[in-house]
Amino acid sequence: MAADPVRDRGATTIADRVVAKIASQAAREALDAVPEGGSAPHASVVVHRDVARVSVSLELAYPSDIGRQCGAVRGRVRSRVEGLVGMEVHEVSVHVERLHSPHTRTTSPRGRLS
């Protein structure tokens, strides 16, 4: 009986946190820019049988085309995770945590922006 070359190669396991870092970087690449005073995108990932479900949280500048930016993030995250890790991505949820507007930025009594 001949050996099965696929089974004999072994398997590579990629930690969820590595996939999450790739997703975070991909989200940042997809955005026009991280808004001034904003935080970089962060992601969490659940992987089951080489299928990833990704949740990305981010902050956006306002005004902007929020729908377009969220769509760009979804597409970029899916393509980067699938391309770099070789996992299927069945879901990319994008959560906008905060909108940053230059018109609502004020200076507090201590001289800090809020």
Higher-scoring residue by pLDDT: 12, 67: 67
Q: What is the pLDDT of residues 52-92, one digit of tens each?
A: 999 999 999 999 999 999 999 999 999 999 999 999 999 99
Tokens describing residue 2: 């001949």
* Least confident interval from 11-15, 76-80, 97-101: 11-15
Average pLDDT of span 16-29:
97
Instruction: Go through the domains of the chain in sequence order and give each one's CATH number.
Output: 5-100 (3.30.300.20)
Q: pLDDT at position 10, please? A: 74
Q: pLDDT at position 109, please? A: 47
pLDDT-derived band at 6 (thresholds 50, 70, 90) equals low
Residue 8 confidence (pLDDT) above 80: no
Residue 12 confidence (pLDDT) above 90: no
pLDDT-derived band at 3 (thresholds 50, 70, 90) equals low
Pairing mode of beta strands 88-100, 51-61? parallel
Secondary structure, 3-state, the chain: CCCCHHHHCCCCCCCHHHHHHHHHHHHHHHCCCCCCCCCCCEEEEEEECCEEEEEEEEEEECCCCHHHHHHHHHHHHHHHHHHHHCCEEEEEEEEEEEEECCCCCCECCCCCEC
